[in-house]
Amino acid sequence: MFADPSNPQVYIGFDVEVAEAIARKLGMEAELVPTDWTSIVESLKRKEFRVIINGFEPTSDRARQIIFSKPYYIFQLQLTVRKDQKGIDSLSDCIAQRKVVGTLANCAASRLLESSGAVYIEYPDPVAAYVDLEYGRIDAVLMDVPMEMFYARKNPAFRNVGPLFQPGTYVAGLRTEDTELQHRINTAIDTLLADGTIERIMRKWELWDSAQSALLTGTGDFQITGRTFNWGEALIKLLKAALVTILIAFGSMIIAMVLGVPLAFGQTYGSAPLRWLCTVYIEFFRGTPVLVQLLFLYFGLPVVGIVLPGWLTALIGLGLNYAAYESQIYRTAFQAVPQRQWDVSYSLGMKPFLTFRRIIFPQAFRIALPPMTNDFVALFKDTSTAYVIAVWELATAYREMANATGQFLLLGIIVSAFYLMMSLPLAHYARKLEKKFNPSKGNGKEALRLD
Amino acid sequence: MIKAENLSKRANGDYILRDINFSLSSGSVLGIIGESGSGKTSLLMCLTALQNFDSGEISVKEMTVKSGSVNNKDEYIWSYRRQIGVVFQHLYLFPHLTVLQNIIEAPVHVLYQSREEAAEKAMELLGKVGLSHKLNDYPDNLSGGEQQRVAICRALAMSPEVLLLDEPTSALDPRFSSDVRSLLQEFVSQGHTIIIVSHSLNFLRGFASHLIYMEKGELIEFNTAEEFLTSPLDERTRRFLNHFLQVL
């Protein structure tokens, strides 16, 4: 299912047409509910819609949560690389050369990559995977043919390598209690296969191939794949994700703290154009969602030739974003130091820079420390926005692992514990730091006095 | 020696200081008195070259600062500033530094004295005002009177020619005022000058050798303390004194 390029509000595609054909057979009308791919099973269970028809494969972990119709299409996997890329002719080449393969999260291809020990990145949508392939952030993309067909085949920068392989099926997904509807949909699919409706739809989309004959004969043995899950592996994955989270949080906080200084000064003391520039920067980063900023950096910068990996984009993007906030904390903190502190220092012969360094900054720092700590904790949580650019950090890990296994509760508790294990020491350390820089308050419990 | 010649300062078109003239020889204590809003603090900010002024000039010893020339980039202004120590009404000790650190900060970083040298002088000053035991305390843990004595020591540690005190009575701890007085008197007897800005005649009486009365940014009378108190030249000074004595 894709947005119609000439009218993005309308969804088109073979899934849409199959769904409409089935609905007609049932004497119903299909209503399309666009939804997030990675949590599509959860959305079905939460009754946001009644049927999933969207290149949806039956898997063993999904089978534990919902039921499936008969297959209406047989897909295979296609490996795609950049045209100029030499030395990759199959998935085994990728595995042997430790090449990074991109794919859609929680699909047959991702499970194949996982079980075969490949280095791979899961994307929330297929477009991002092919964009990253084009920009050289990854080396190959493994995807179901229908998606490869729509998103990559016409792109002259790519070439497909190796034969199609690993056949699987697309089915409709239903809630476990909807057995009657399941039966009616199966009957409808039989009819649509027999009268050639499905073949006509697939041919229109250039998706009909010899493999589909198995649908008509009802033969064909399709392996139902499933994600293997064991807690030891899950913990290791979460631990890795936590390290990425820590790296992004610390890296971006350092950028924010450093960049906040010239922003605060430019905005307060700069010449008119500089003041204007700083204000534009600050208002831009405070006034637009960080999610949009990350997408912009990730997909926009390569247009001008700057291609950064996802984690670095997240680190820089969050750093640029939080710099705007830090600059405002600095500004208020400096304004909270009485002007007379400057006067006293000047009268002692201390010049502006010396006064700033020795007298004003330490006082402003004491004032800025508590809100900066707050920001750092907030930043820790905002690292989860890196999900949109396929960075495997803690929130992404949770979302994808939980979606694949249905273990939302247990994994949720573990992931929360991970976040707390990071943020609690941080808060503790910040309190110690506040005490250190505010030595006159013996127990550190009293409020900061500004004057 | 400190001198102001035709000193004027305007804000939004109105004079906040108008044609101030006085000259004070070394070893004097000048009290500047007047209602609040009479321009006392503005005069202090100009005399210290912390603020610019619109006309006239100020001098301490051989150094003269002309109107419009107060500028942080000018080395001369910095030399001039170092000759005047200031203790503001609200003291503005450095809250992140201990008593000792407050006092040695400028000697170490401006005069490039060694820490030991600066600390030795600081200890001597603190001893004279009975604060030797508060060396490592932070300002927030001191009483108002103690804070004021630290602020005075901080200013004196830079060995200024002139010491300016803004409204010292408001923070003064009367039990120790004799300590402070003798420290200040010692400073004067070494040939230095003190200027005290106050709205209270009580504190100035018996301590100031000269007095200035200000009203609405104008210097009404500059006289020796004795003549000022017994036979003032200006009608307005007389009125102020009468009013003050009635209140008393």
Q: Nearest residue of B to residue A446 by CA position?
A: B140
Q: Nearest residue of A to residue B163 by CA position?
A: A347
B137–chain A nearest CA distance, Å: 8
pLDDT greater than 90 at residue B150: yes
A367 lies in a domain? Answer: yes
Q: Token digits for A288?
A: 């637009």
- Please state the φ and ψ torsions of residue A338, each to the nearest 5 degrees: -60, 140
What pLDDT score does A177 carry? 92
pLDDT single digits (tens) B172-189 = 555 446 778 888 889 999
What pLDDT score does A33 carry? 86
Whether residue A195 is found in the same domain as residue A177? yes
Whether residue A120 is found in the same domain as residue A252? no
Angle at B37 between CA B33 and CA B43, to 5 degrees: 60
B87–chain A nearest CA distance, Å: 8
A226 lies in a domain? Answer: no
How many domains would you assign to chain A?
A: 3
Question: For residue A390, is it left (φ>0), alpha (ψ between -120 and 50) or beta?
Answer: left
Give burial (CB, 10 Å; 0-12/13-18/19+) of A220.
middle
B4–chain A nearest CA distance, Å: 18
DSSP B65: E
Contact B96 A351 (CB under 8 A): no
Query: In this complex, which of B109, B140, B155 lies closest to A350 when CB atoms are compared?
Result: B109
Task: Show the domain range for A34.
Answer: 2-72+171-217
Q: Chain A contacts of B50, Cβ < 8 Å?
A: 343, 346-347
A225 lies in a domain? Answer: no
Question: Domain with A194 in it: what CATH number?
Answer: 3.40.190.10
Region A299-312 average pLDDT: 85
Q: Nearest residue of B to residue A449 by CA position?
A: B140
Q: Between the CA of residue A371 and those of A285, A333, A363, B99, what are the distances in Å?
A: 18, 10, 14, 28
pLDDT greater than 90 at residue A448: no
A448 lies in a domain? Answer: no
pLDDT greater than 90 at residue B133: yes
Query: In this complex, which of A338, A347, A449 lies closest to B86 when CB atoms are compared?
Result: A347
What pLDDT score does A443 carry? 38
Pairing of strands A173-174, A119-123: unpaired
Pairing of strands B162-166, B193-198: parallel
* Chain A interface test: which of B92, B97, B138, B142 (most A C-beta within 10 Å): B92
pLDDT single digits (tens) A36-45 = 777 788 888 8
Contact B86 A344 (CB under 8 A): yes
A 366-385 near B (Cβ less than 8 A): 366
Whether residue A371 is found in the same domain as residue A405? yes
Q: Token digits for B161?
A: 């020619």
**Beta bridge pairs of residue B84:** B162
What pLDDT score does B176 carry? 46
pLDDT single digits (tens) A362-387 = 898 888 888 998 898 889 888 988 88
Q: What is the residue extent of each domain of chain B?
A: 2-83+160-247, 99-159
Whether residue A78 is found in the same domain as residue A64? no
Contact A351 B72 (CB under 8 A): yes
Region A120-144 average pLDDT: 88
* Whether the Cβ atoms of residue B145 and residue B151 lie closer than 8 Å to each other: no
| Cα distance between residue A179 and residue A185, in whole Å | 10
CA dihedral of B77, B83, B89, B95, whole degrees rounded to 10: 80
A445 lies in a domain? Answer: no
Whether residue A309 is found in the same domain as residue A278? yes
Label residue B110 by pLDDT band (50, 70, 90). Answer: very high
| Cα distance between residue A315 and residue A129, in whole Å | 20
Whether residue A427 is found in the same domain as residue A289? yes
Q: Could you please report the per-residue DSSP string of A340-379? A: HHHHHHHHTT--HHHHIIIIIHHHHHHHHHHHHHHHHHHH
| Cα distance between residue A33 and residue A49, in whole Å | 7
pLDDT single digits (tens) A270-295 = 889 999 999 999 999 999 999 999 98
Q: Could you please report the per-residue DSSP string of B105-147? A: HHHHHTS---HHHHHHHHHHHHHHTT-GGGTT--GGGS-HHHH
Whether residue A314 is found in the same domain as residue A426? yes
Question: Domain with A416 in it: what CATH number?
Answer: 1.10.3720.10
* A437 part of contact set with chain B, CB < 8 Å: yes
What pLDDT score does A323 carry? 95
Whether residue A274 is found in the same domain as residue A407? yes
Label residue A449 by pLDDT band (50, 70, 90). Answer: very low
Whether residue A146 is found in the same domain as residue A162? yes
pLDDT greater than 80 at residue A15: yes
CB neighbourhood size of A427 (10 A): 14
| Cα distance between residue B165 and residue B193, in whole Å | 11
Region A171-176 average pLDDT: 92
- CATH number of the domain located at residue range(s) B2-83+160-247 in this protein: 3.40.50.300
Whether residue A311 is found in the same domain as residue A289? yes
pLDDT single digits (tens) A386-429 = 888 878 888 888 887 887 777 788 889 999 998 888 888 887 88
CB pairs under 8 A between A and B: 71
Whether residue A155 is found in the same domain as residue A123? yes
Is the ipTM higher than 0.95? The answer is no
What pLDDT score does B247 carry? 60
Chain B residues with CB-CB distance to A under 8 A? Answer: 45, 48, 50, 72, 78, 81-82, 84-86, 88, 90, 92, 94-96, 105-106, 109-111, 138-141, 154-155, 158
| Cα distance between residue B245 and residue A174, in whole Å | 97
Whether residue A212 is found in the same domain as residue A322? no
What pLDDT score does B120 carry? 95
Least confident of A119-123, A423-427, B15-19, B146-150: A423-427
What pLDDT score does A444 carry? 36
B49–chain A nearest CA distance, Å: 8
Region A77-104 average pLDDT: 89
Q: Chain A contacts of B48, Cβ < 8 Å?
A: 347
Q: Nearest residue of B to residue A365 by CA position?
A: B96
pLDDT greater than 80 at residue A191: yes
pLDDT greater than 60 at residue B215: yes
**List of residues 6+ apart from B190 with CB closer than 8 A:** none
pLDDT greater than 90 at residue B136: yes
Q: Specify the 3-state DSSP secondary structure of B170.
A: helix
